[in-house]
């Protein structure tokens, strides 16, 4: 019980740390590492590498949330989620597509939160077949891995933007870096809705959370509700 509580506190710190807390404040709460023992680089990358990494982390997060929502929802709800995702992906206007995808992810996170708030949550997972449990485990692992990557990239962004401001040759890429950093921060805030509940999934499917942002993402396959 004590270890489970400690894990939940550390995972919540990952989600909230970069948005709401400064490092000294985290130390005050007895959490010397924002990542629950995992290390992040904090080193500023070049703009192109940063943006590429940010897009990769966002994609990993988006896919893991979609798979989590599908796995933990009823078959009807999972079909509804899938239809909304496909409709958003089909949009051609970039701004409209971005807004719609954010709306879809919000509903997916709400679905996961609702499912995990159910008293029968762990019992329902216990009834899953091996394939579905494996997909759920991979999705939960990738969700936390994406969270670690997001947090590290948000930390990198601070130094990167500061350095770009004094480098005339980089000013043209400043907007892209700021947009990516803002998107990552928003994603961290949104993901915090369910981050603290991930230990329940890890426990239910008997897997460990990623130890580092550099861990390899697990292969996921589409899993749907009952």
Q: Tell me the pLDDT band of 172, cut-offs 50, 70 and 90.
A: confident
Alpha helices in the chain (DSSP H): 2-20, 23-28, 47-72, 75-89, 94-116, 121-126, 130-164, 174-195, 198-205
pLDDT reading at 121 higher than 90:
no
Contact yes or no for 107/84 (Cβ under 8 A): yes
Which tens digits make up the pLDDT trace of 10-24? 444 443 343 333 333
DSSP secondary structure of 170-197: GGGGHHHHHHHHHHHHHHHHHHHHHHTT
Q: What is the pLDDT of residue 142?
A: 95
Q: Is 56 exposed, middle or buried (0-12, 13-18, 19+ CB in 10 A)?
A: middle
Across the range 167-175, mean pLDDT stands at 81
CA-derived radius of gyration, the chain: 18
Average pLDDT over residues 187-206: 87
% of the chain surpassing 70 pLDDT:
78
**Mean pLDDT over the full length of the chain:** 79
């Amino acid at each position: 019980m004590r270890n489970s509580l400690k894990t939940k506190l550390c995972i919540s710190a990952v989600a909230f740390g970069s948005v709401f807390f400064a490092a000294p404040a985290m130390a005050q709460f007895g959490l010397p590492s924002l990542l629950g023992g995992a290390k992040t680089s904090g080193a500023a990358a070049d703009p192109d590498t940063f943006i590429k990494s940010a897009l990769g982390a966002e994609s990993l997060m988006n896919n893991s949330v979609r798979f989590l929502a599908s796995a933990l929802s009823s078959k009807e709800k999972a079909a509804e989620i899938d239809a909304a995702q496909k409709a958003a992906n089909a949009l051609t206007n970039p701004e409209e597509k971005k807004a719609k995808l954010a709306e879809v992810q919000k509903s997916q996170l709400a679905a996961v939160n609702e499912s995990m708030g159910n008293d029968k949550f762990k019992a329902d997972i216990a009834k899953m077949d091996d394939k579905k449990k494996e997909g759920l485990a991979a999705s939960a692992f990738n969700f936390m891995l994406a969270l670690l990557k997001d947090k590290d990239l948000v930390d990198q962004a601070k130094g990167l933007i500061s350095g770009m401001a004094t480098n005339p040759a980089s000013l043209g890429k400043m907007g892209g870096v700021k947009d990516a950093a803002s998107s990552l921060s928003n994603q961290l805030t949104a993901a915090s809705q369910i981050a603290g509940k991930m230990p329940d999934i890890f426990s239910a499917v008997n897997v460990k959370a990623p130890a580092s942002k550099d861990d390899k993402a697990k292969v996921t396959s589409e899993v749907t509700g009952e």
